[in-house]
Structure 1
Amino acid sequence: MLGNLFRAETSTLQDPSDELWDALCGPQSAAGKVVTADTAMRVAAVYACVRILSETVAALPFNLYQKTAKNNREVASKHPLQMLLHDLPNEEMTSMDFRTQLMAALQLRGNAFSEVERDRAGRVHGVWPINPDKVWVGRSEKTKRLSFEIHDGDMRTLTPQRMWRVAGLSTNGIIGLSPISQAREGIGLSLALEEHGARLFSNGAKPGGVLQVEGKLSDPAYARLRKSWSDRHQGGANAHRVAILEEGTKWNQIGMSSEDAQFLESRKYQRSEIASMFGVPPHMIADLEKATFSNIEHQSIQFVVYSLLPWLKRIEQSIFRDLLSPVERREYYAKHSVEGLLRGDSKSRSEFYKNLFNSGAISINDMRRLENMNSIDGGDQHWLQLAMAPITQSREPSSSGSSND
């Protein structure tokens, strides 16, 4: 792996210090746990955040649109890219599967790469995901263009025309930072806390201690005492069993109790910290400690605006850059529909529709489409209330022939 970081004809865009450290020492946190994208998913909060973000984005309506007259738009149903985005990106994956994988790669590794298949006319007819760990990005010193080396058995190089890439938060605009690497210490602490809890209950929910005896035990006596104690008291099923100590043996507890170490409070804090790292409201990963019925709806809207929209913009603009030709960019663009996530409850939607309908902004059929209902005849007509009038017109005109006598 290290030999592929520097090549004569390319200049690296990746910082080799992290690669070198991970290769020599492993991506180990100060808590003593190795933190990678795979081990991080063992933390329930990380798994929940990645699942919420990935599946929510993948479930959103996603279409390729074509610009029409008067700044209108319509779904580009005849364009081959529409089927790839909306239905089948390749012959093995559905759109839901592909986009879930793409978002998971972004959340865990900070980058998502897909190999692009094109026909002789240059049109996209398939996209295949690539493990970001197997992609090295460089820049050619001759052409100054990006190049992508894929190390999945046999090394091969792809040009930008054959690669669809999406990057997360980045310091150079090309390579995204891995959220797992940036939050290594917090996730490592969560892994250590989970292991501590598991070991605590495997030992009957009691911290470690020592059995003290007078004199020196022979090897058979030592082995018998250790086996007898483990068989009778180790494991959650043996918690609180009465200990029988023979011939002056004494039990001395050592170490802090879970209360002294604030074990539960530490786990709660790590869960909240991980949720904030991914930008997921705590109530969405079953942390309802500070949630109320009055603020959950607003937190959900904030989740769409501040957490989802940046990712949706990255995906949409990367499609504009990598999957559309310069000519197609003039009239085509990809767009997610998030209106369904912002509509709120039935009462809020009713007020929203009423205000837009009364101002003539939407029609009856527009509202029915938003509610996934069929259109009706005559429902495309827009209406405008005209009950208001200037105050000067409210005066009754004077009758003809009146005098000021």
Structure 2
Amino acid sequence: MPYGNEIAVTEATSMRSTAVMASVRVIAETVASLPKPVYQRLKPRGKRRVSHSIGDLIGKSPNPYMTAFTFWETLMSHIMLWGNFYAEIEYDSAGSITALWPIPPHRVEHRETADGDPYFRLTLKSGKQKDIPFYAMLHVPGLSFDGRKGLSVIGWARQAVEVAIATENFAAEFFKNGTNVGAVVTTPSTLSDGAFDRLSKSLHSSYSGLGKAHKLMLLEEGMTFSKNTIPPNDAQFLETRKFQTLEIARIFRVPPHMLGDLERATFSNIEQQGIDFVTHTIRPWLVRIEQTVNMRLFGQDEQKKLFTEFLVEGLLRGETKARYEAYNIARNGGWLSVNEIRELENLNPIEGGDEYLRPLNMAEVGKPSEGGDNNNDNGQGNKGATGPLDAGNQAGDPESGGGTD
């Protein structure tokens, strides 16, 4: 290692860096908290939610000892640190999937048979090895060079994480007052050993420690007291720690304010950063997982009819007023129904709520409206329309010329 204190950075020890731990937590917990319903494809297009055993596994409990949240949180932490997630697929006698069992990535090896068929070799806690066929392993790889095994993010960014941990270790030692001299007492003459011991004990017992700060110090025999400040080369580590937080945030594509760095965050940009987090950080992970789950957990015939996807609308809601204004535009524009809006708000549907509105001044291009051509070229205006003017004529409005004497 490049540092004398031999900082060993592995996927597990990298979590000692607060920036790494915060990045992994915010992404893993966000993904784990999203709903993951199963849908049936409708013809010619569209979808609807359905009840399915796979939906229960990925949305409720993948195995008897683990909740769905814990499962997906584990999945994301494994991918983000090791670059791969593995879970053994358990089948019953009928060939249906009954459980998913996560496996630590460092215990799995990628192997191939003599014919080139892939399989996985698992090393158990006892040291014994077990071969798992390809169909019985749910493997979600991260960024990869060969499309089979993902790359370890910590392995590639080891030096950046190492510097982050080194600066945190230095800060801990610095504030422990291990080698930093807080003040200096000087005397014009040489002290005897006995006088030096008495002075040391007096200074330590009377003035050392936070509880004895700001006390008046009494000196004798021409002694002078001078307090040391943090020298520039020692204070520089504070800036280094800030930079390493940004460096770790860059590696995981996490907005700095989500790691507690609010230096560049404002009320005007923090909401946009949250949207960018969903779009550029969370969404690629979701697509990667969705495609793997749909391909590996649904049979070939089911893949044509069923699929699952994460729901991210809740992360994009924004404030209540802006959300309701957007719903109003969508409702009046005719492309969202009442029940669709209520579903986005996690509300139950209502009777008659599946109808769509059609604005009166909108029609297909080139197709006359039901009330007549409202846009003819002869300058006659809204010839076939009915409105306040026609109503006035029929009611006998005297100013319209259509009344009765």
State the TM-score bracket (shorter-chain normalisation): 0.7 to 0.9
Where do residues 2-401 of structure 1 align in structure 2 (5 Å cutoff)? 28=1, 30=3, 32-77=6-51, 79-153=52-126, 154-203=128-177, 206-207=180-181, 257=231, 260-388=234-362, 391-392=375-376, 395-396=380-381
- Greater mean alpha carbon deviation, residues 201-210 or residues 264-273: 201-210
- Say if 1:64 and 1:85, in contact at 8 Å, map to a contact too: no
Shift of 1:224: 11
Q: Could you tell me how far apart the structure 2 residues matched to 1:171 and 1:246 are?
A: 72
Shift of 1:156: 0.6
Shift of 1:226: 9.6
TM-score (norm 1): 0.79
Could you report, residue by residue, the CA deviation over 1:127-152 in whole angstroms, capped at 9, with x for unpaired residues? Answer: 01111111111222334323333343
Q: Could you tell me which residue of structure 2 aligns to residue 401 of structure 1?
A: none
Larger-gyration structure (1/2)? 2
Could you report, residue by residue, the CA deviation over 1:262-290 in whole angstroms, capped at 9, with x for unpaired residues? Answer: 12111111111111111110111111100
Shift of 1:165: 0.8
Structure 2: 5+ residue stretches without partners? 363-372, 385-405
Provide closer, same or farther for how the CA distance between residues 162 and 253 of structure 1 changes in structure 2, counting only shifts above 3 A.
farther
Provide closer, same or farther for how the CA distance between residues 224 and 353 of structure 1 changes in structure 2, counting only shifts above 3 A.
same
Q: Could you tell me how far apart the structure 2 residues matched to 1:124 and 1:201 are?
A: 54
- Greater mean alpha carbon deviation, residues 349-358 or residues 89-98: 349-358
Q: Could you tell me how far apart the structure 1 residues matched to 2:207 and 2:113 are?
A: 64
Could you say which structure has the greater relative contact order, defined with CA pairs below 8 angstroms and 6 or more residues apart?
1
- Say if 2:91 and 2:99, in contact at 8 Å, map to a contact too: yes
3-state SS in 2 of match to 1:327: helix
Provide closer, same or farther for how the CA distance between residues 178 and 143 of structure 1 changes in structure 2, counting only shifts above 3 A.
closer
Provide closer, same or farther for how the CA distance between residues 382 and 265 of structure 1 changes in structure 2, counting only shifts above 3 A.
same
Structure 1: 5+ residue stretches without partners? 1-27, 399-405
Provide closer, same or farther for how the CA distance between residues 195 and 292 of structure 1 changes in structure 2, counting only shifts above 3 A.
same
Q: Could you tell me how far apart the structure 1 residues matched to 2:133 and 2:201 are?
A: 63
- Say if 1:204 and 1:237, in contact at 8 Å, map to a contact too: no
Residue 101 of structure 1 aligns with an amino acid whose one-letter code is T
> Percent identity of the aligned residues?
38
Q: Could you tell me how far apart the structure 2 residues matched to 1:134 and 1:250 are?
A: 63
Q: Could you tell me how far apart the structure 2 residues matched to 1:53 and 1:224 are?
A: 58
Q: Could you tell me how far apart the structure 1 residues matched to 2:236 and 2:289 are?
A: 42
Q: Could you tell me how far apart the structure 1 residues matched to 2:248 and 2:75 are?
A: 20
> Cα RMSD over matched residues?
3.5
- Say if 2:9 and 2:162, in contact at 8 Å, map to a contact too: yes
Provide closer, same or farther for how the CA distance between residues 97 and 260 of structure 1 changes in structure 2, counting only shifts above 3 A.
closer
Residue 170 of structure 2 aligns with an amino acid whose one-letter code is H
TM-score (norm 2): 0.79
- Say if 1:61 and 1:337, in contact at 8 Å, map to a contact too: yes
3-state SS in 2 of match to 1:165: strand
